[in-house]
Amino acid sequence: MMRPKLDPAGFHSRVSLAPHQLSSDVTPREDLIVLCHVGVPRIERLDWSLTVDGLVQKPARLAFADLSRFRQRHVSAIHECAGSPLAPQEPKRRITNVEWKGVLLADLLEECGLSADANYIWSIGADYGEFAGVSIDEYVKDLPIERLSDDVLIATELNGEPLTPEHGFPARLVVPGFYGTNSVKWLTRVSLQKKRAQGPFTTRWYNDVVLDEHGRATGQMKPVWNVAPESVIVSPAPSAQLSIDQPCEVWGRAWGDTPIEVVEVSFDEGETWMRTFPSTRLSRSWQRFSIEWKPRRKGIHQLMSRAWDSRGNVQPPKGARNAIYSVQVEVV
């Protein structure tokens, strides 16, 4: 396939909903995150093809119509932007919850025959251009072969409708539980390899510093793959006025690659915490938590939430993209 036209060319984004706007269980299409590092390729279905190569027994090239040969799957999942690769520790809260439809990447690779030497799946998109002063020939990401499970999709629909160009039309990779940067849009090639990909989006950007148990840098880096445990308060909204001695519901969303088991909420800027148990996770969707609060003191209050996942990981107070969220309200 020849290089497609980019429209628009260059960095293109649209900010998603703020935490207090996350009232819908499924995020409407018009409110979804848009982040395109180097532009939006315009590709017709008839012109699109997917090459599968590398450490496979039978390399293949599939047209869009060939995807209909495979079973179709629906996956409900959170989709979170990892934030700017130029400021990786800055929380952005760019989170949505959507319904994907597509074919399982595992089914497609089974037909091609995986080599035992394959350790990583490289995914390559049709976008190209320049980002942060670096020339990008093609957008390349990778994921470990162990992540190839029953919910990694080559997706063709989003919330029951075909993908839009800015969300990856005609087809894109979706890796539920991994940050959005790994779900390559405008997917044109999947390559099975022994080693990690060496493009700028796997080496220069989207890597985090590994810290020791004391929070000190070890000198090692780890890829931005799994979504870390996180939570936000949806209601009350920032600057809301609440009545003293009147019960109110404090509720929000919690999510991560691993299910969230406990959410703690503080009404005194983190001095004390109250535990609540979120709803059971369905597929890979976010989970709802709720707790009743009866304010006893007038004035400004800082409400905070922090999520604990089933592996014991917790939101840190600061210095990370999943740092604790807080909202200020007034009791009158």
- pLDDT value at residue 136: 94
Strand partners, 235: 251
Sheet holding 287-293, edge to edge: 230-235, 248-255, 287-293
- pLDDT value at residue 218: 83
Distance (Å, whole) CA 167 – CA 284: 19
Handedness of CA 283, 276, 288, 305 (dihedral sign): negative
- In this structure, the strands spanning 325-331 and 241-242 are parallel
Exposure string of 253-290, with b = 16+ CB inside 10 Å and e = fewer, is: bbbbbbbbbbbbbbbeeeeeeeebebeebeebbbbebb
Distance (Å, whole) CA 307 – CA 312: 10
Q: What is the mean pLDDT of the chain?
A: 95
Which stretches of 267-316 are assigned E, i.e. beta strand? 274-276, 287-293, 299-309
Per this entry, what is the length of the chain? Answer: 332
Strand partners, 265: 274, 305
Which stretches of 31-186 are assigned E, i.e. beta strand? 34-36, 39-42, 49-54, 60-63, 72-80, 95-104, 120-125, 129-131, 134-136, 140-144, 153-158, 161-162, 172-174
The domains of the chain, with CATH numbers, are 5-223 (3.90.420.10), 230-331 (2.60.40.650)
pLDDT lower than 50: segments of the chain? none
User: Which residues touch 243 (CB under 8 Å, ≥6 apart)?
Assistant: 295, 331, 332
Distance (Å, whole) CA 85 – CA 180: 12
- pLDDT value at residue 115: 94
